[in-house]
């Protein structure tokens, strides 16, 4: 049971951080940014490129790469389309995702490469007689710390208050002096930081990197964000934890011959939840069109 709880919190924490990265951008732009997957992937490749250097240097470079790429995608791809309809923005995010993905394949190849950015955390630890991974314990701790820091940022800083105001009513926040470009760029910067942290923890758990590393993670996290309430940051956390717990429980409880179909059972549960709560468990306030 302890092993299942640790696995559920570890996986749910990764989904929660990824869903937050998606939700922060969606809350201020109403953009479902599927190119967030490539932020995770490029951050992981930055870790791979500096794998022989001190871990602090590699992590700093990874965060920098994800932040710069996030701001570039906003400036080049999404800002010119800011007044377009949501379908156009969604197609643009898919286009950016595929472009970066193919560019990575051209630059580094499509072969899977081994990566262990946190080898010091590979040893197991014992908790109440159960052997669990130290990496997963650290993953849970990092997720809790990051969520707490993000809450303090949103509630105690001027920039955070502006982001919360923009998320609830973008037009009104502009009328009282909130600068649209500043808030949107800040949202992309935060999504890049979260993507780099997810890349570090996910690569450490999987032990490899490849051009589609972030795609399945982001797709599942997007489902988690929808369950929690797309555009709701607390909902993204709740949805991520719920999906992580559900996936872990299905892996543990399903018969061996049904485990390969775990995602199918999980998505059936998602459909049932949305039938009861179509706007998510914690729907966002102020779901109006954004500039």
Per the structure, the complete domain to which residue 85 belongs is given by: 2-113+132-213
Q: What is the pLDDT of residue 291?
A: 43
Residue 41 within any structural domain of the chain: yes
pLDDT of 183-231, one tens digit each?
A: 889 999 999 999 999 999 999 999 999 999 999 999 999 999 989 988 7
Residue 181 within any structural domain of the chain: yes
Q: Please, which pLDDT band fits residue 286 given cuts at 50, 70 and 90? A: low
Q: Please, which pLDDT band fits residue 287 given cuts at 50, 70 and 90? A: low
**Over residues 123-130, mean pLDDT:** 80
pTM of this structure: 0.91
pLDDT of 137-168, one tens digit each?
A: 999 999 999 988 988 998 888 888 888 777 66
CA-closest candidate to residue 135, choices 210, 206, 62, 63? 206
Q: What is the pLDDT of residue 159?
A: 85
Specify the higher pLDDT residue, 178 or 152: 152
According to DSSP, the residues that pair with 209 across neighbouring strands are: 113
Q: What is the pLDDT of residue 290?
A: 42
Residue 222 within any structural domain of the chain: no
Percent of the chain clearing pLDDT 90 (strictly above): 46
E-assigned strands of 161-277?
208-209
Residue 168 within any structural domain of the chain: yes
Residue 283 within any structural domain of the chain: no
Domains of the chain: total:
1
Q: Which are the contacts of 279, defined by CB distance < 8 A and separation ≥ 6?
A: 229
Specify the higher pLDDT residue, 106 or 286: 106
pLDDT of 235-283, one tens digit each?
A: 889 999 999 999 898 888 888 888 888 888 888 888 888 888 888 888 8
Residue 45: pLDDT over 90 = yes
The dihedral built from the CA positions of residue 145, 149, 154 and 160, taken in this order, carries a sign that is negative
Residue 279 within any structural domain of the chain: no
Query: 186-208: string of b/e by CB count within 10 Å (b at 16+)?
Result: bbbbbbbbbbbbbbbbbbbbbee
Residue 245 within any structural domain of the chain: no
Residue 219 within any structural domain of the chain: no
Percent of the chain as helix, strand, coil, to the nearest 5:
75, 5, 20
Q: What is the pLDDT of residue 49?
A: 94
């Amino acid at each position: 049971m302890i092993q299942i709880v640790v696995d559920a919190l570890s996986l749910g924490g990764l989904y929660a951080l990824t869903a937050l990265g998606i939700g922060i951008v969606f809350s201020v732009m109403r953009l479902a940014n599927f190119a967030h997957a490539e932020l995770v992937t490029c951050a992981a490749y930055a870790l791979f490129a500096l794998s022989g250097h001190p871990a602090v240097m590699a992590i700093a470079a990874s965060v920098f790469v994800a932040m710069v790429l996030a701001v570039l995608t906003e400036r080049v791809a999404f800002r010119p389309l800011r007044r377009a309809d949501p379908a156009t923005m969604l197609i643009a995010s898919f286009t950016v995702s595929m472009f970066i993905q193919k560019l990575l394949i051209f630059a580094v190849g499509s072969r899977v490469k081994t990566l262990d950015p946190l080898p010091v955390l590979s040893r197991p630890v014992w908790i109440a007689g159960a052997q669990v991974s130290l990496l997963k314990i650290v993953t849970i701790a990092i997720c809790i710390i990051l969520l707490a820091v993000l809450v303090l940022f949103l509630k105690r800083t001027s920039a955070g208050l502006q982001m919360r105001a923009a998320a609830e009513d973008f037009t009104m926040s502009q009328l009282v002096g909130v600068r649209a470009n500043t808030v949107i760029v800040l949202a992309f910067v935060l999504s890049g930081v979260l993507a780099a942290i997810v890349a570090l923890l996910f690569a450490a758990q999987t032990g490899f990197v490849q051009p589609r590393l972030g795609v399945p993670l982001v797709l599942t996290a997007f489902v988690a964000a929808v369950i929690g309430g797309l555009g709701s940051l607390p909902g993204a956390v709740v949805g991520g934890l719920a999906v992580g717990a559900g996936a872990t429980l299905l892996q543990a409880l399903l018969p061996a011959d049904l485990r390969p179909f775990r995602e199918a059972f999980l998505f059936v549960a998602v459909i049932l939840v949305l039938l009861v709560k179509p706007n998510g468990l914690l729907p966002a306030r102020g779901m109006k069109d954004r500039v």
